[in-house]
A and B are shown apart, each in its own frame.
Chain A
Amino acid sequence: MKPAPFAYTRARTLKEAVTLLAKHKDDARLLAGGQSLIATLNMRLSAPELLIDINGIKGLDGIAKKGKFVEIGALARHAQVERSDVIAKHAPLIARAMPHIGHPAIRNRGTFGGSIAFADPAAELPACLLALGGEIAIAGPKGKRKVKADAFFKGLFETALRPQEMVTGIRIPAADKNTRVGFAELARRHGDYAIVGLAAAARANGKSLADVRLAFFGVGATPVRTKKAEAALATGNVDAAVAALDLDPHDDVQATAKVKKHLAGVLLRRVASQLMEAR
């Protein structure tokens, strides 16, 4: 299908984008990479009056290590993050997840901030941000603020973003020698949204693990942490961690809830062995 008619404008600065959003309210949508938005326009699942193209805003696509954190600008494209030396060195979980996001042609356009703001429950990056305890930087008519990933993903495609606000970037703790990460997903075709996926982070504590954070995706309305399994895994008991998985997925077009629960256990075993490997 073809999109319903809409008007189009380019925002040159963050201020201009936020002003336009405030003026047009729910009639407007921000266009970043467009890899989800244009698909929904084509299918007429969305029919805004105005698209505000933010691709021309300078300085929103940076990737840098700043002190103990790695900052990624909202307009950084997946392909750019995938090739980044800073990400490879200081954000190994993001580096592992990146090849699973869409396909090369999608990664050339899709943006980091777009994936976070869209908050697809089966997407990789929201789960990575949750596993890493990251923070989302937001700009709006009342200025700038930051929200922790734990409080950002609120429901199905629903986030802490208020109307007329936009994501400007994210911040995650930079990895150090005790950082352990794990990532695995199962998809019918490489690059498609996962049936079930798992992003995980922990700290090595001698031979065991501490601060285990397991963020499953594709099993609920948002990426989901499984705190009982996290506690069990910290004791080194993988069987107990699998038994403690208290996920409550729904049937969807890809798999039944029962299959998803089973696959979550399979992924947890795979990711547990990644977490226990020394870097």
Chain B
Amino acid sequence: MSDRSLDISLTVNGERVRERVDARKTLVDFLREDLSLTGSHVGCEHGVCGACTVRVNGDIVRGCLMLAVQCDGAKIETIEGLSDSGEVADLQAAFEQRNALQCGYCTPGMLATAQDLLKRGGVPSRDEIREHISGNYCRCTGYHAIVDAVEAVAQTRAKGR
């Protein structure tokens, strides 16, 4: 029972999706090419840069290191979903205010990874923030502004609770 293309059924940003996909198609290529969700970016294609970071069943993963066929039955959230739901609105505003992005290529993955840390609650140290985003390359900012933005949001959220 094996094939080079398979039918999959999954939920992407809350919407049910049924598609036939090539077995060799990665999750990020499926999202971009088949669903036109181009917010997830393709960088290194071997798990180093983090530009393709998306959520699968609540956990962040590399979209280039998971196959679309493996996502049958899964719940996928991309930056489009995280953005539309307002879940990362404060992070997005802080990134803008602090110049934590320039070209923006890494930003969707960076936001998903930062939110993964922040949704655990509490105020992480700057070292913990740096460690958590260590798998996401940014070639513009030098990271300092990103750490500032994530830290500021953590503090604001902690006060709001």
**A-to-B contact residues, CB < 8 Å:** 1-9, 31, 34-35, 38-39, 41-43, 50-51, 53, 55, 79, 99, 102-106, 108-109, 189-191
Contact = CB atoms under 8 A, between A and B. Distances in A.
A42 B64 contact: yes
A249 B59 CA distance: 38
Q: Is the interface of B mostly helix, strand, loop or mixed?
A: mixed
Contacts of B124: none
Given A1-B45, A104-B116, A105-B53, A38 B23 contact: no
Contact of B135 (A38, A51, A191): A191
Interface residues of B, number: 34
B60 A38 contact: no
A190 B46 contact: no
Contacts of B62: 35, 105-106, 109
Given A7-B2, A8-B2, A39-B47, A106 B135 contact: yes
B142 to A, nearest CB: 14
B46 A39 contact: yes
A102 B69 CA distance: 24
Interface string B13-38: 00000000011101001000000000
B134 interface: yes
B128 to A, nearest CB: 11
A263 B113 CA distance: 32
Contacts of A1: 45
Given A104-B132, A105-B62, A6 B45 contact: no
A79 B65 CA distance: 16
Given A38-B65, A108-B59, A109-B62, A8 B134 contact: no
B111 to A, nearest CB: 13
Given A104-B116, A104-B135, A105-B113, A6 B24 contact: yes
Nearest to B116: A104
A108 B23 contact: no
Most A CB contacts (10 A, CB to CB) among B2, B23, B45, B46 go to B2
10 closest Cβ pairs, A-B complex: A103-B135, A9-B2, A8-B23, A39-B46, A7-B2, A190-B134, A108-B59, A3-B24, A105-B60, A38-B65
A8 B46 contact: no
Given A7-B2, A38-B26, A106-B47, 16 more contacts: A2-B24, A8-B3, A8-B6, A8-B23, A8-B69, A39-B45, A39-B64, A43-B45, A51-B67, A102-B135, A105-B50, A105-B60, A106-B65, A108-B61, A109-B62, A109-B66
Given A5-B24, A7-B3, A34-B67, A189 B46 contact: no
Interface string B80-120: 00000000000000000000000000000000010011000
